[in-house]
Amino acid sequence: MSIICYVECAGSTIKKSSLECASFASQVASKLGVRAYAIVIANTDNAQLEMLGNYGIAEVLHIDDAQMLPMARASAIYDASKSINANIVIFPKSVSVDGFASRLAVKMKANMVSNVCELPITDGTFTVKRSLYTGKAFAITELKSENKVLVVKKNAVQPIVTQDKASVKKISFQPQETDTALKVTEVVKSSGDLLLTEAEIVVSGGRGMKGPENWHLIENLAKALGAATGCSKPVSDMDWRPHHEHVGQTGVKVSPNIYIAVGISGAIQHLAGVNTSKCIVVINKDPEAPFFKAADYGIVGDAFEILPKLTDAAKKILT
Ligand code: FAD
């Protein structure tokens, strides 16, 4: 028996959520006394792959193919899992994983749970805690089948980082006809230097910013902090900002170390996309704004006065 986790890359770089997932998988493996593997299906160099050892992965199976379709990915992971006798497959929660984790579960005849938010209890049972209703409730679920597929929420565990190196094995995969039924005709990449879902810090603006002409204030603070920029839904609906920056239930879900919300009221649909952030800072001129209830730090005041001061302070401290 062993455990394998699926590792996603942005280009050739392993995503932060996948490093967390690798650490989650290796912590489960050490609870069960089994070996932790990872599978990477991307054009990534050996240094990146070996670095997964820092997160407790003993061996990485690498398929050098960034274009592989979702159905084929499920089959490739299935074959790889069989080759190492893995009965637990662990995924990081992401839009692309949503497209094939359940296919894999069907192939493996596995119990599958999504939104896992803590390490499982392994006291003879295999019981997981998962988050429901955008983090408003939790379900405790026992997985009774021999094979299991877990999809892990961001920030579910504190990664344990070591100096170890993983060994890397190149493997190949030949898709069957059924794996290629879907055709990707176009890939549109989001703009911006930093991927919103990968950023350690996000500065996000809402309707309180009054208009796109004021966004330089958000961008200046983001630049000073090395942060990505996000926005509320109305802001992208009004074309003040591109749609890929829209954060929330119907937009991107982010889990940065620091989420700074400026002129955003804190509607439940917005909070659904940010409530796994480690620290939430809210800037709003209305002391009754609902976002303050979810905030770790709050500043009551006018964003147009506060943002330049914060940016200056960040520049002084960080440069
Ligand atoms: P507003 O609610 O207008 O709030 C603006 C805030 O700015 C106020 O709190 C105000 O006090 C403050 N403000 C004004 N001037 C200043 C100033 N000078 N300085 C500081 N603060 C100031 N929304 C999302 O964001 N993401 C989603 O994914 C999402 N999905 C939705 C899905 C559905 C099905 C529905 C029905 C709604 C969804 N919404 C979503 C919309 C959501 O309900 C809210 O309407 C939206 O989040 C409000 O955006 P806002 O906070 O920017 O604007």
| pTM of the predicted protein model | 0.80
Question: Is the beta carbon of 237 within 6 A of some atom in ligand 1?
Answer: no
Whether the predicted pLDDT of 91 surpasses 90: yes
Whether the predicted pLDDT of 92 surpasses 70: yes
Cα 206 to ligand 1 centre (Å): 6
Question: Is the beta carbon of 286 within 6 A of some atom in ligand 1?
Answer: yes
Whether the predicted pLDDT of 319 surpasses 80: no
Whether the predicted pLDDT of 200 surpasses 70: yes
Greater model confidence, 96 or 152: 152
* Tokens at 126, concatenated: 């295999």
Residue 232, judged by CB atoms within 10 A of its CB (0-12, 13-18, 19+), counts as buried
Cα 294 to ligand 1 centre (Å): 14
Contact 128, 116 (CB under 8 A): yes
The model's pLDDT over 180-189, given as tens digits with 9 standing for 90+, comes to: 887 778 877 7
The model's pLDDT over 23-75, given as tens digits with 9 standing for 90+, comes to: 999 999 999 999 999 999 999 999 999 999 999 999 999 999 988 999 999 99
CA distance linking residue 223 with residue 311, whole number of Å: 9
CA distance linking residue 90 with residue 35, whole number of Å: 13
Question: Is the beta carbon of 233 within 6 A of some atom in ligand 1?
Answer: yes
DSSP per position, 243-286: GGGBBSTTSB----SEEEEES----HHHHTTTTT-SEEEEEES-
CA distance linking residue 75 with residue 65, whole number of Å: 14
pLDDT for 193 equals 65
Mapping DSSP to helix (H, G, I), strand (E, B) and coil, where does residue 210 land? coil
CA distance linking residue 128 with residue 119, whole number of Å: 7
* Average pLDDT of the residues in 250-259: 92
Cα 108 to ligand 1 centre (Å): 43
Cα separation values, 226 from 159, 195, 201, 243, 266, Å: 22, 12, 7, 21, 24
Question: Is the beta carbon of 56 within 6 A of some atom in ligand 1?
Answer: no
pLDDT for 155 equals 81
Question: Is the beta carbon of 214 within 6 A of some atom in ligand 1?
Answer: no
273 pLDDT band (50/70/90 cuts)?
very high
Greater model confidence, 132 or 303: 303
Whether the predicted pLDDT of 192 surpasses 80: no
Question: Is the beta carbon of 205 within 6 A of some atom in ligand 1?
Answer: no
Cα 252 to ligand 1 centre (Å): 15
190 pLDDT band (50/70/90 cuts)?
low
The model's pLDDT over 100-155, given as tens digits with 9 standing for 90+, comes to: 999 999 999 999 999 999 999 999 999 999 998 877 799 999 999 999 999 999 88
pLDDT for 178 equals 85
pLDDT for 99 equals 86
